[in-house]
């Protein structure tokens, strides 16, 4: 046997041993985790979930594995909550433990990392939540009832006049409410520049935060390298 062949054999054997040890370690850990679809080597469940309609896959998994589903995305451990009881138990009753969220690297490059929806739990997040609560708590939202009624009336009229443009009308009505409540100005015409900006921002954000949409958000080493570089 030549030295090159011997080296190849030793390397392959070593890799096999490492894989077996890692596989057994994962099996032992998985015994204390909720059930979920079996992961594939290296990539886990990455290709098991649609990048555009992930909720359909999650709903199917609920029928197979229950309300709590554990998946592995390229080394990222995800717990999918499929019922309101689990959501309230973990995200409300145990909020101090589970209030943090995974960082989205793409959110940083999109310039929205400071947005309260993507910010990690901490002083900035708590301050933002306090401001939001003061603006849209149960007592304050009552002053927006007339605004919502007016926009709802316009929405119904648009649906009657142009029934084929359902999503367009829904987006317009949503943007009108958000613009008035958040920024204090109204969006009247569908061709309004602000409305177009709202729609484009929504499209960008929804595309960018879908789990698995970008490798940089799913590969832990890439995320760590980028955070280290930024720091």
Beta-bridge mates of residue 69? 80
Distance linking the first and last C-alpha atoms of the chain: 50
How far, in Å, CA of 226 to CA of 223, rounded? 5
* Ranges of residues in the chain whose predicted pLDDT is under 70: 1-31, 103, 188-192, 209-212, 215, 218-231
Q: Are 115 and 107 spatial neighbours (Cβ–Cβ below 8 Å)?
A: yes
**DSSP structure string for 72-103:** EETTEEEEEE-SHHHHIIIIIITHHHH-----
Question: What is the pLDDT, as a whole number, of residue 32?
Answer: 80
Question: What is the pLDDT, as a whole number, of residue 190?
Answer: 58
> What residue ranges do the domains of the chain occupy?
1-32, 35-99, 136-207
Instruction: State the residue for tokens 């709202």.
Output: 198
* Residue whose C-alpha is closest to residue 206's, from 118, 139, 136: 118
Question: What is the pLDDT, as a whole number, of residue 75?
Answer: 74
Question: What is the pLDDT, as a whole number, of residue 149?
Answer: 93
Question: What is the pLDDT, as a whole number, of residue 18?
Answer: 45
Question: What is the pLDDT, as a whole number, of residue 63?
Answer: 92
How far, in Å, CA of 177 to CA of 149, rounded? 10
Question: What is the pLDDT, as a whole number, of residue 220?
Answer: 54
Give the SS3 label for residue 13. Answer: helix
Pairing of strands 68-73, 76-81: antiparallel
């Amino acid at each position: 046997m030549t030295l090159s062949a011997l080296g190849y054999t030793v390397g392959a054997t070593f890799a096999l041993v490492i894989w077996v040890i890692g596989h057994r370690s994962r099996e032992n850990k998985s015994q204390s985790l909720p059930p979920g679809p079996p992961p594939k080597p290296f990539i886990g469940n990455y290709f098991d979930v649609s990048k555009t309609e992930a909720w359909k896959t999650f709903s199917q998994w609920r029928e197979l594995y229950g309300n709590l589903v554990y998946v592995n995305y390229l080394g990222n451990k995800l717990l999918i909550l499929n019922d309101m009881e689990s959501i309230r138990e973990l995200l409300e009753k145990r909020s101090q433990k589970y209030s943090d969220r995974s960082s989205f690297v793409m959110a940083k490059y999109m310039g929205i990392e400071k947005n309260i929806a993507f910010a990690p739990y901490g002083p900035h997040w708590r301050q933002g939540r306090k401001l939001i609560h003061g603006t849209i708590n149960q007592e304050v939202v009552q002053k927006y009832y007339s605004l919502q009624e007016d926009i709802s009336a316009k929405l119904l009229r648009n649906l009657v006049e142009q029934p084929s443009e359902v999503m367009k009308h829904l987006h317009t009505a949503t943007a009108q409410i958000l613009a008035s409540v958040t920024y204090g100005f109204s969006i009247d015409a569908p061709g309004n520049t602000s409305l177009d900006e709202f729609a484009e921002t929504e499209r960008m954000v929804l595309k960018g935060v879908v789990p698995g949409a970008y490798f940089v958000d799913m590969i832990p080493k890439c995320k760590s390298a980028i955070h280290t570089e930024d720091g």
